[in-house]
Chain A
Amino acid sequence: MGQMIGATALMRSLAKEGVGQVFGLPGGANLPMYDELSKSDIRHILVRHEQSAAHMADGFGRVSRKPGVCFATSGPGATNLLTGIATAHADSAPMVAVTGQVPVGMIGRDAFQESDIIGMANPVVKYAFQPRAPSEVPESVKKAFFIAETGRPGPVLVDVPKDVQTDSAEMEFPDEFRIRGYHPWTDPDVPSIERAIEMLLSSERPIILAGGGTIISSAFAELQAVAETLLIPVATTFKGKGAFPENHALSLGPIGMHGHAEANRLMTEADCVLAIGTRFSDRSVGTFEEFEKNLKIIHMDVDPAEIGKNQRTSVAIVGDVRTSLRIMVKLLRRSPPASREDTPWARHAKETREYWQENLKVPSGEMVASRILKRLREALPPEAIVTTEVGQHQMWASLFYDVIEPGTFFSSTGLGTMGWGFPAAIGAKVARPGVPVLDIAGDGSFNMTENSLATSVTEGIPVIVFLINNYMLGMVAQWQRTFYERRMIGVDQKECPDYVRLAQAYGAEGVRAESLDEIGSAVRAAISCEAPTVIDIPIDPEENVLPFVAPGTPLRDMILPS
């Protein structure tokens, strides 16, 4: 393709991958690529902190299922990305992070703004490239995208020394390449799927546990077909929340530390689980030993290293879970099981679900989490995308905000990164500009990346921050109330700042909603005016999230509201 500098080759490579925009912030070591960016058709979305650039790329990636791209300069720019990269890694989100680096000859000499970002990022990336010559740039980028989006997705780092950006070389843009040690595709083993079906049919109390992998592979229709054909109730992990419509008669909602009571109950009673795309995190299963007691586990996952890592498995089905479920559906269609209309277990599941939906005690009063989130659900169309921050509001969202259209709910579930939700919502909105995008936020989390309001306003990417404001690091406060005899320290935000004025200072809409009706109208107004909006919703700082499975205890020891 001729002679060009590395930075031009980088932009061409990104364009070839179909990249429409990058989220980033420039500095000395990535100026050459920014200069080329200015000449390309790729949009630049300026952030005010690189962590947010990574979260935006992450949000974009989770929604579009294509790697989101973020740019940062060397040294502090690159280290600022790390939390965002680690968050994407923990939740298997596709991302390509491109950092500037000091010139090749300066590497290892503790140059100004040199950091060994390859070394620092290694444990939290799927792979990292550092092209040492401009001619290596196209292949590095090509492989980076391939690795980021295939198999179990994840973040890939491309660290480009400054002279590699500025030197020129004869460039080739390969369409084919080989990565000998990378085998992202495995064909699911059909006999294992047959055995799984037999096991599900012969067990008395089967349950489905859908994890985040179900959402990543968009196996929604297949999951629903299996559940409906076999009449099996569907629980999810928190990361899998919304893999299955939560208003469906077979839906139990998430299990785990703050799982739905009905999901935790039925999970403990089940004798066989079809676990789809989940790593059985401790937050989901309580304790590993208790979870697997008296339970036959059928595990479908794209990542063979997840099989047997945390739980004993009776049947393992390695491969893309959508493909595996599709085969399962086909096998079920070929020899449909006898009608399971009225198994005692299905009846029991239905009764349990109805019981808890009517009888889970919630605090009285109007402005309590359950009512606030139910009102939010009513105000949002089913296709709206919701992200969350981390804390009580996140767990309330898990408990009380029902996801109706699968794949419209995203949260930092693996790393639990406060500050993820808002920039991720901006990334999500870029991926799907036509639908409302809203971040269910806590005040403490929002503080961490609230300067993304500048991006939302100046770049015209309107998202809604639904701020459930207790002026507390509420989840920590709840643990201090529960486990430390109310010795409260480091949790009181002292009513600072004023979020309405903060929003307005950035040029966003800021409104306070002090009743359910005000919430409904504020959300509707924000959707129709298409302007970045912060809705500040004051709540009682003493409200706890319940049910609660204390860390290190089994699901059956779930603490219920009294």
Chain B
Amino acid sequence: MAILSIKVENRPGILWKVTHLFRSRNFNIESISVGPTEDPEFSRMTISVRGQDGRQVAQMIKQLNKLIDTVEVSLLDEHKTVYRELAIFKIRLRGAQDSMEVNKLAGAYGGKVHDVRRDSIMVELTATPDQVSAFEELARPFGIMEVARTGMAALQRAGA
């Protein structure tokens, strides 16, 4: 996996230009998140891609830099980066036993439980994308009714 952190001018249409670039250069975006930065003139996009070799990723960074609206592009080192994703799961419950087990599972992943009903429960999780996926696997036997994932946000650690 490669995580790209892209600081862009905070103007309409730029998310589209960046995603268009990924499409036209034959890259598949695995996850994307966008939000304002500490400076309202800029936004930060965090994009992760999988299945591309180093040369391809390096080429993509150059193409991103070439976009006039990008101000800074960096490839984050997974090991020196804090990266998290928020996910919300709606899980089916078939009795009290299920409810207890899902609660336990959520607890193990540091998740929070919301909207507990007789036949469903919602779990909110903030974790690395891998942990979110692992949770998803374990929750699958209960029956996952719906999932929403934000895509990851990431920042390089200080001094890294």
Contact = CB atoms under 8 A, between A and B. Distances in A.
Of A119, A180, A303, chain B has the most CB atoms within 10 Å of the CB of A180
A123 B24 contact: yes
Given A119-B16, A147-B68, A181-B8, 18 more contacts: A118-B13, A122-B17, A126-B68, A127-B68, A180-B9, A181-B9, A181-B67, A181-B68, A181-B70, A181-B71, A303-B66, A304-B62, A305-B59, A305-B62, A305-B63, A308-B55, A308-B58, A309-B62
Contacts of A126: 68
Given A118-B13, A123-B24, A309 B68 contact: no
A71 B59 CA distance: 35
Interface string B31-65: 00000000000000000000000010011001101
A179 interface: yes
Chain A interface residue bracket vs B: 10 to 19
B68 A122 contact: no
Contacts of B59: 305, 308-309
Interface of A: 118-119, 122-123, 126-127, 147, 179-182, 303-305, 307-309
B20 A305 contact: no
Contacts of A181: 8-9, 67-71
Contact of B68 (A179, A303, A308): A179
A180 B71 contact: yes
A268 to B, nearest CB: 24
Contacts of B9: 180-181
B69 to A, nearest CB: 6
19 contacts: A122-B16, A122-B17, A122-B20, A123-B20, A123-B24, A126-B68, A127-B68, A147-B68, A179-B68, A180-B9, A181-B67, A181-B68, A181-B70, A305-B62, A305-B63, A308-B55, A308-B58, A309-B59, A309-B62
Nearest to A179: B68
Contacts of A118: 13
Contacts of B70: 181
B13 to A, nearest CB: 7
Contacts of B62: 304-305, 307, 309
Nearest to B73: A181
A122 to B, nearest CB: 6
A305 B66 contact: yes
Of B59, B62, B68, chain A has the most CB atoms within 10 Å of the CB of B68
Contacts of B66: 303-305
B35 to A, nearest CB: 19
Contacts of B17: 122
A182 B72 CA distance: 11
Contact of B65 (A122, A123, A304, A308): A304
Nearest to A182: B68
A248 B80 CA distance: 56
